[in-house]
Amino acid sequence: MLMPVFPKDSVNISLIKKHRLAEMTGRPMRVVGWYHSHPHITVWPSHVDVRTQAMYQMMDQGFVGLIFSCFIEDKNTKTGRVLYTCFQSVQAQKGSEYERIEIPIHVVPHEAIGKVCLESAVELPKILCEEEQDTYRRIHSLSHLDPITKIHNGSVFTKNLCSQMSAVSGPLLQWLEDRLEQNKQSISELQLERERLTQELAAMNKPSRRDLVSNCPVPAAPKR
């Protein structure tokens, strides 16, 4: 398990999340690393990231850090990319600073999606909407804003919510509907397979004509 670290987050909060996740999944959990994102910038860790990683390694030498660089557009194909790196910190040869070393990482796909991951994906639009609402309310409460500025801010707020619905909520809903149809089809196929196996099992357990004849009692010979 990797724990997310936010600007105002703490290790204690992440440990609480770990225990909560263990209760939800019914399995023991171990924190093996931390992760955060670099939106619109390079994936490589900063000096602060390297020092933070060194601090975690003081508690566990096997601790790793993950960084995801998102919202990166390929200039040739005009498509978005998500880059990631896994790293640890080592003492630099000169001075008291630390430097990063790359750790190989392998992505292993899973056919099924866990309940916790599914709930996190569904929760994402709500989190983004709450962030927009908090920002709008904080700015809207300023007393020195004139009516035109407030109307403009309201329009920007509405535009951002519509953009979120188009870029996040809409595709997520479509993905969930497609997955629901896929699950229904899988259930139908499994039910047909169960019926077929049940019929084969019944045919195997059904006594044959030879068995019926061999089990019939042989009439006794008449006495003379």
Provide the mean pLDDT of the chain: 83
The answer to whether the CB of 153 falls within 8 A of the CB of 133 is no
Q: How much is the average pLDDT of 15-26?
A: 70
Domain boundaries, the chain: 2-102, 115-203
**Which amino acid, residue 18?**
K
Q: pLDDT class for 195, splitting at 50, 70, 90? A: very high
Which of 97-101, 107-111, 204-208: highest mean pLDDT? 97-101
* DSSP 8-class letter at 44: S
What local confidence, expressed as pLDDT, does residue 178 receive?
93
Q: Is the pLDDT of residue 76 over 90?
A: no
> Hey, how many other C-beta atoms are within 10 angstroms of the C-beta on 55?
13
Q: Is the pLDDT of residue 111 over 60?
A: yes
Express each pLDDT in 112-169 by its tens digit.
777 778 888 888 899 999 999 999 999 988 888 899 999 999 999 999 999 999 989 9
What local confidence, expressed as pLDDT, does residue 47 receive?
92
Q: Is the pLDDT of residue 217 over 80?
A: no
The answer to whether the CB of 30 falls within 8 A of the CB of 69 is no
Q: Where are the beta strands (DSSP E) in the chain?
A: 2-4, 33-37, 64-73, 80-91, 98-102
Express each pLDDT in 61-71 by its tens digit.
999 999 999 87
Q: How much is the average pLDDT of 208-212?
A: 61
Q: Which of 4, 89, 100 is nearest to 44 (CA)?
A: 100
Fold of 2-102: Cytidine Deaminase; domain 2 (3.40.140)
- Here the tokens at position 142 are 């300023």
Please report which helix (H) or strand (E) contains residue 120, including its range: helix 115-140
What local confidence, expressed as pLDDT, does residue 68 receive?
92
CB within 8 Å of 60: residues ≥ 6 apart: 32
Q: Give the range among 18-27, 119-128, 133-142, 172-181 with minimum mean pLDDT.
A: 18-27
Q: pLDDT class for 26, splitting at 50, 70, 90? A: confident
pLDDT > 90 fraction of the chain, expressed in percent and rounded: 44
